[in-house]
Amino acid sequence: MADDTYTPPEVWTWDAESGGQFASTNRPIAGPTHDKELPTGKHPFQLYSLATPNGVKVTVMFEELLAAGHDAEYDAWLIDIGEGDQFGSGFVDINPNSKIPALLDRSRETPVRVFESGSILMHLAEKYGAFLPASGPSRTETLNWLFWQMGSAPYLGGGFGHFYQYAPEKYEYPINRFAMEAKRQLDVLDRALAERDFIAGESYSIADMAIWPWYGQLALGRTYGDAGTFLDVESYEHLQRWAKAIDARPAVQRGRMVNRSVGEPETQLHERHDAADFDTQTQDKIGEGS
Ligand SMILES: N[C@@H](CCC(=O)N[C@@H](CS)C(=O)NCC(=O)O)C(=O)O
């Protein structure tokens, strides 16, 4: 229905067909739809996720911790959000918001659930004393940018990305509104990165890990079809330099593969239980490419 003919009814009712590409998963209620226990592996950390930008933040963090010599071994299990795995009872117990990523930290006597990607990054950073200064202005600046990402990305993904790429029709009003906001956010980052190597200062931090999967990958032209051209991402010089530098990190390249279920089979590691899995368990090796 075109924008100019729609009058909202007095009380909204759910039309299951109105969710565009995600109509099959989105509902106006929370809670589980079915009973399903989550699998558990041998490591202290059990990650239930998918290689979307929010998922990649956490797998990059684990791979960076391991690369830095921390004992941060983890089992990563694939949650297929297209199939509704996020509404299984075991997953909802760990994240009542039914969104990936969700983590169960079994390194304590009583396991701790951790949901919201920013909370997971902080939890791991504090546990290992890594990628987040322990105190002082540099810690505050890192958290400034971490929370900036958590607050800003829904306008990029749920706003711009949804209307530019996924909505059933192209509507000029929301595309204009969210393209302007997306470009404003890109300029925020570009100006900050003109003055420093990384987003929160001269050290790589959980703020970079949170921001790069969204804005770095947009700058590299990897998200939302032709959005890179549409938003003229090449014009953000400092953002480009940072995006490419982070993309080249081996831990980032590994983190992008974990729980990935689209793309070239050699880039997909559906589950990760061991460092050797990158060499032996990718979809091209186990022959179940999707
Ligand atoms: N603020 C949350 C957002 C998580 C989120 O939106 N996850 C998406 C994938 S990127 C999801 O699980 N969607 C499934 C659904 O909406 O049913 C976080 O950062 O962890």
The pLDDT score that the predictor gives to residue 290 is 45
Q: What is the pLDDT of residue 23?
A: 63
- pTM value is 0.96
Cross-strand pairs, 201: 198
Strand pairing class (45-49; 102-105): antiparallel
Long-range interactions of 241-247: CB distance < 8 A, separation 24+? 241/193, 242/189, 242/193, 242/197, 242/198, 242/199, 242/208, 242/212, 242/216, 243/212, 243/215, 243/216, 243/217, 243/219, 244/220, 245/197, 246/204, 246/208, 246/212, 246/216, 247/212, 247/216, 247/220
Residue 208, phi then psi, degrees to nearest 5: -65, -40
Q: Which CATH code is given to the segment(s) 136-252?
A: 1.20.1050.10
Compute, in angstroms, the gap from residue 50 CA to the centroid of ligand 1. Answer: 10
Of ligand 1's listed atoms, the one at least distance from the Cα of 55 is 10
Residue pLDDT, tens place only, 102-155: 999 999 899 999 999 999 999 999 999 999 999 999 999 999 999 999 999 999
The DSSP result for 216-240, as a single string, is: IHHHTT-SSTTHHHHTTGGG-HHHH
Kindly report the backbone phi and psi dihedral angles of residue 42, in degrees, each rounded to the nearest multiple of 5, phi listed first.
-90, -15
Which residue lies with its CA nearest to atom 4 of ligand 1? Answer: 99
Spell out the domain ranges in the chain.
136-252
* pLDDT number for residue 21: 67
- Taking the C-alpha atoms of residue 177 and residue 48, their distance in angstroms, rounded to an integer, is 34
Closest residue by CA, ligand 1 atom 13: 99
